[in-house]
Amino acid sequence: MTVNGNFRALRYPLGRALLCSVRFALGAVFLLSGCATHIDHSKSVARSEATPHFTPRHGAAYNRAYRVKGRVYHPLASAKGYRERGIASWYGEESGRRTAMGTRFNPHGLSAAHRTLPLPTRVRVTNLGNRRSIVVVVNDRGPFVDGRLIDLSHGAAKALRLSGVGRVEVEALD
């Protein structure tokens, strides 16, 4: 007996369903196997490979004195030995805009803004509330709010588990 002249549909209905289930399961295993990486973020998140190394150009326009809101800021000639504690905040709504260095701002990246460090400078930022630290590249100017030391990209703030503002230590690595 046939249904619409198809013998296979009657002879192997369970076999075809089982074959489809096995194919789906194997495909799911292969797709999800790449997601099984465990990263221990208990103390430090140092992603130096995600923060490319740049060579500061001291004569570049972004390393000269500049004026914002009537105040003049003088970038440091060198970041050597720089270490300071203060308040950090994060920013991320400027997605796609240019930084002071002329690169596109990526809110999910590991970057920061500082008023006087030479651009670019790699710094280790440590959240003093939970001792988590991360290496970021300072590639922009700011924050221009009194009492703030550094502005972090949203990606860096998230890695530090910093919501809103928080106390941090900033140490230059270059």
Per-residue pLDDT tens for 21-74? 666 665 555 555 444 433 344 444 444 334 444 555 566 888 999 999 999 999
Given a cut of 60, whether residue 159 has pLDDT beyond it is: yes
Q: Where are the domains of the chain?
A: 1-37, 44-172
- The CATH code of the domain at 44-172 is 2.40.40.10
> Of 13 and 74, which is predicted with more confidence?
74
Give me the pLDDT at residue 13, please: 56
| Assessment of whether the complete model's pTM goes beyond 0.75 | no
Whose CA is closest to 152, among 116, 108, 117, 121?
108
Average pLDDT taken over every residue of the chain? 80
What b/e readout covers 30-54, taking b as 16+ CB neighbours within 10 angstroms?
Answer: eeeeeeeeeeeeeeebeeeebbeee
